[in-house]
Structure 1
Amino acid sequence: MNTISEQPATASPAALNTSPLPPAFLAALQQRFGPGQCSTALAQREQHGRDESAYVGVPPPDAVVYAESTADVADAVRLCAQHRVPLIPFGAGSSLEGQLLAVQGGISLDLMRMNRVLALHPEDLSATVQPGVTRMQLNAALREQGLFFPIDPGADASLGGMAATRASGTNAVRYGTLRDNVLALEVVNAHGEVLRTGSRARKSSAGYDLTRLFVGSEGTLGVITELTLRLYPLPQAVVAAICGFPSIEAAVRSTIATIQYGVPIARCELLDAATVRAVNAHAKLGLREQPLLLMEFHGSPAAVREQTEQVQEICHEHGGADFEWADTPEQRSRLWAARHQAYFAALQTRPGCRAITTDACVPISRLADCLLASVADAEASGLPYFLVGHVGDGNFHFGYLIDPHSAAERAVAEGLNQRLVSRALALDGTCSGEHGVGLHKIDFLRQEAGPVALDAMRSLKQALDPHGIFNPGKIFL
């Protein structure tokens, strides 16, 4: 098994600084929570000590606590603060950048039992939920109200985890990210106190915007225990279209033109030919194995018809084929399920591999420059890879498939990743459109933000978490 020393520099051995739990802390933890909510069993610890990142060999947390209420979270935080024990919030475990790994030991605080939809306010287009509610669970509860929550990162992630990483996904081109769709939060701070940010009002100019401070903080500033979210009416008409292209460039140029012409497309996803082959094999689809755009259009029947006609014309101008349609709910569900499974489909093409992923985002006008140069770089490396992208908002993902035991392959992949991010930053982009920083992008954030901005972030961290108990070793060192 690889050790952490074989990981990229962004997760150096110095990041590992673990020590056993103080016996007094463990005794107090077990007394407060009991065997039904507190476990030191290796199997449960290991389950909470891995995610979908390429890291291996990181020790699991020392204990797992299953919170069932805000009071449970507050008590767990107070105990950790008293004994200076790290606390790592845990949701569905689907993070990609090592956010939930216990690099400094401590406890994993599992929030998935806090899974109640607390209130629906259809008249105000909002809902209040606990952090363990998943996006699919919320949408099931909304169906009879004629509403939906549009943020769809692919995995059936917890809404608390999605807020913590500022998730977005396939619908972001029209509906925005979690940053745009969280109205208010309940958060437990580093003293075990409960604070509330925001309200159900759609706007406010009262004080600092603490809501957006905690959204995207990756569990380093507090523990989210409640969220109030924006909802949207289900569109009258929904149509999905598939368009094949002779090249990735043609697909990207079509996307750029669609956005620049102001077409309010809901989804616009790019799959390269290798990814299409993997998806076909995994999901038993019959998609043409060439670069594809998977698109979805929302609105009134007339508006959807106008949008599809406009985009079909744009795609034809760039060599795209006639659209293939998926206009029934069953067809659309199958299509998007296959897209969401692209990551796992790609892993199956090389059994035993792990994926080193990246998700750079650039201004839409620079998308072709960045993406095509990154494709050429990946091709020249000889390393297997897959490419998908929420290209409607300039966000794309490469996954480099490596043998996790090969230091040489890891070095090649990290070199590709470094060059891709540097390319994106040179084009006024960002090192992460939606995955977050975690462990893997620490150096990239330093490159993007610069020392003054990083010092400001550290000052906020010190002010809100003076003893450094919340998810230490993440975002910056």
Structure 2
Amino acid sequence: MDTTPFEQKPRALPAGFLDALQGRFGSHCSTTAAVREHHGRDESPYPPMWPDAVVFAQSIDDVVWVARHCHAHGVALIPYGVGSSLEGHLLAIEGGVSLDLSGLNQIVSVHAEDFTATVQAGVTRKQLNESLRDTGLFFPIDPGADASLGGMAATRASGTNAVRYGTMRENVMSLKVVTADGRLIQTASRARKSSAGYDLTRLFVGSEGTLGIIVEVTVRLYPQPEAVSAAICNFPDLDSAVQSVIEIIQMGIPVARVEFMDTHAVRATNQYSHLDLRESPLLLFEFHGSPASVREQAESVQAITHEHGGLDFDWAEQPEDRNRLWTARHNAYFAGLQLRPGCRSSTTDVCVPISRLAECVGQTAHELDQARFPYTIVGHVGDGNFHVLMLLDPDNPDEWAESEALNRRLVERAIAMEGTCTGEHGVGLHKQGFMRAEHGPDALHVMAAVKAALDPHNVLNPGKILPPIL
């Protein structure tokens, strides 16, 4: 499938470069086809773009050495977490070195009394929460995939809990970052607030590996809620479900999670996860707090949903029942793929002000209903963010062209509503073409100036975020 106008144009490697890598890293440097292919693809629909070599870092010193070496020789360097990105973030569009950070997997410290933890970039969210099991604390950011904390910071990830706990932007307190030329910097302290200097932490959070390589992350932790309850509520149509969410948020009810699934997504989830959910638009809620506050939240939400035609709540109060539901929700992407075996998916997301959410989702669904391919819509609609999964025949370029046209209209619609081209997937390759419309040329030139100052040789994940021509 010819899915992208971006063509791989590898830079020529200087003589002896690969020999130097292999001499330094031995078996932790690979040039085999299987390893390079694995690190040259992600969950996007784009064809693989292989790096010339893959280095498996085992320490921060390894990262510093590779960065210095690539900077000195003008070789592209792409940080790699677990490969779960959706927009082509890690494709080696200019060849070079893929730097696998999964070996940086140590939990450095947990300061339970301060509600913070410091971890190396390769630690995954499940690994962190497993280590916190006996502390009474947890890390809430949950993008679905068992992503690495470094990758989550680099893409400014969020997920199902963001409506209550925020995104990585709000929950990263400090970073250790290796710069393009191999310097190791600390962006902030563990203090809860600071007025000292530029906010370097926020500069690197969401930079997608284009400004520096995140090697250590200090994050906020939260107390495990005393009581947790979950419920499903079905609706006769999409608009009723989304209007319910808008009113719930506007009323200030502190739901921990509120997820939307359209009828197609529910049907796919039933088939994939062996559930028997009613196949109509639904909202999936979770409530955190004391038993009394959870009960009060649930009663208020139930009243609002009934006003909008919602059916009776289907409660899941036992941990095993809740886990089954949320596992099914997290598997909605893989469930969607099974609606059309052999397909390739093109996924997209936008985020709009909550007051415009129903309009944006409704218009999007109406357009998708006319498409020649199946689709699903799911969303973290409590913060105005939703996702579209388009299931394409890999041998049909017309379907790809139609999906890109639908994606373009969706993004243009969201931006016109004062929203954004991506709420959590990130820019990568796929959303570059919308950066000018969202930010304007002057803001893009400021971004380009920051990139040039921090990475003058353009070695860090080149070809991502900023459009090729400003």
Q: What TM-score comes out, normalization by structure 2 length?
A: 0.98
- What does the per-residue CA deviation read over 1:115-173, in whole Å, with 9 as the maximum and x for residues that have no partner? 01110000000000000000000000011000000000000000100000000000000
Map of 1:275 onto structure 2 = 265
- What does the per-residue CA deviation read over 1:254-295, in whole Å, with 9 as the maximum and x for residues that have no partner? 000000000000000000111111011111011111111000
- What does the per-residue CA deviation read over 1:185-212, in whole Å, with 9 as the maximum and x for residues that have no partner? 0000011010000111111110000000
* Match 2:16 to one of 21, 24, 47: 24
- Residue 27 (structure 1) shift: 1.3
Matches within 5 A, 1:322-341: 322-341=312-331
- Residue 334 (structure 1) shift: 0.8
SS where residue 121 of structure 2 aligns? Answer: coil
SS where residue 437 of structure 2 aligns? Answer: helix
Matches within 5 A, 1:244-255: 244-255=234-245
Matches within 5 A, 1:236-315: 236-315=226-305
Distance 2:145 2:16 in 1: 38
Map of 1:12 onto structure 2 = 6
- What does the per-residue CA deviation read over 1:280-319, in whole Å, with 9 as the maximum and x for residues that have no partner? 1111011111111000000000000000000000000000
Distance 1:105 1:249 in 2: 46
SS where residue 23 of structure 1 aligns? Answer: coil
Distance 1:105 1:441 in 2: 21
- Residue 367 (structure 1) shift: 0.2
Matches within 5 A, 1:377-456: 377-456=367-446
Q: Are residue 49 (structure 1) and residue 34 (structure 2) matched? A: no
Q: Are residue 181 (structure 1) and residue 171 (structure 2) matched? A: yes
Contact persistence 2:372–2:399 (CA under 8 A):
no
- What does the per-residue CA deviation read over 1:33-71, in whole Å, with 9 as the maximum and x for residues that have no partner? 112x10001100011010000101x43111000001110
Give 2:6's aligned amino acid: S
- Residue 381 (structure 1) shift: 2.0
Matches within 5 A, 1:226-241: 226-241=216-231
- What does the per-residue CA deviation read over 1:339-390, in whole Å, with 9 as the maximum and x for residues that have no partner? 0000011011111111111110000000011110000011022321010000
- Residue 329 (structure 1) shift: 1.2
- What does the per-residue CA deviation read over 1:226-262, in whole Å, with 9 as the maximum and x for residues that have no partner? 0000000000000010000000100000000000000
SS where residue 360 of structure 1 aligns? Answer: strand
Distance 2:340 2:172 in 1: 39
Give 1:154's aligned amino acid: G
Q: Are residue 33 (structure 1) and residue 25 (structure 2) matched? A: yes
How many percent identity over aligned positions?
A: 62
- Residue 20 (structure 1) shift: 4.3
Unmatched segments (≥5 aa) in structure 1? none
- Residue 25 (structure 1) shift: 1.2
RMSD: 0.8
Distance 2:138 2:118 in 1: 13
SS where residue 176 of structure 2 aligns? Answer: strand
Contact persistence 1:20–1:62 (CA under 8 A):
no
Give 1:122's aligned amino acid: A
- Residue 22 (structure 1) shift: 2.4
What stretches of structure 1 move > 3 A for 4+ residues in a row?
none
Distance 1:68 1:27 in 2: 19
Contact persistence 1:221–1:465 (CA under 8 A):
yes
Contact persistence 1:97–1:435 (CA under 8 A):
yes
Q: What TM-score comes out, normalization by structure 1 length?
A: 0.97
Map of 1:137 onto structure 2 = 127
Distance 1:7 1:291 in 2: 31
- Residue 17 (structure 1) shift: 1.7
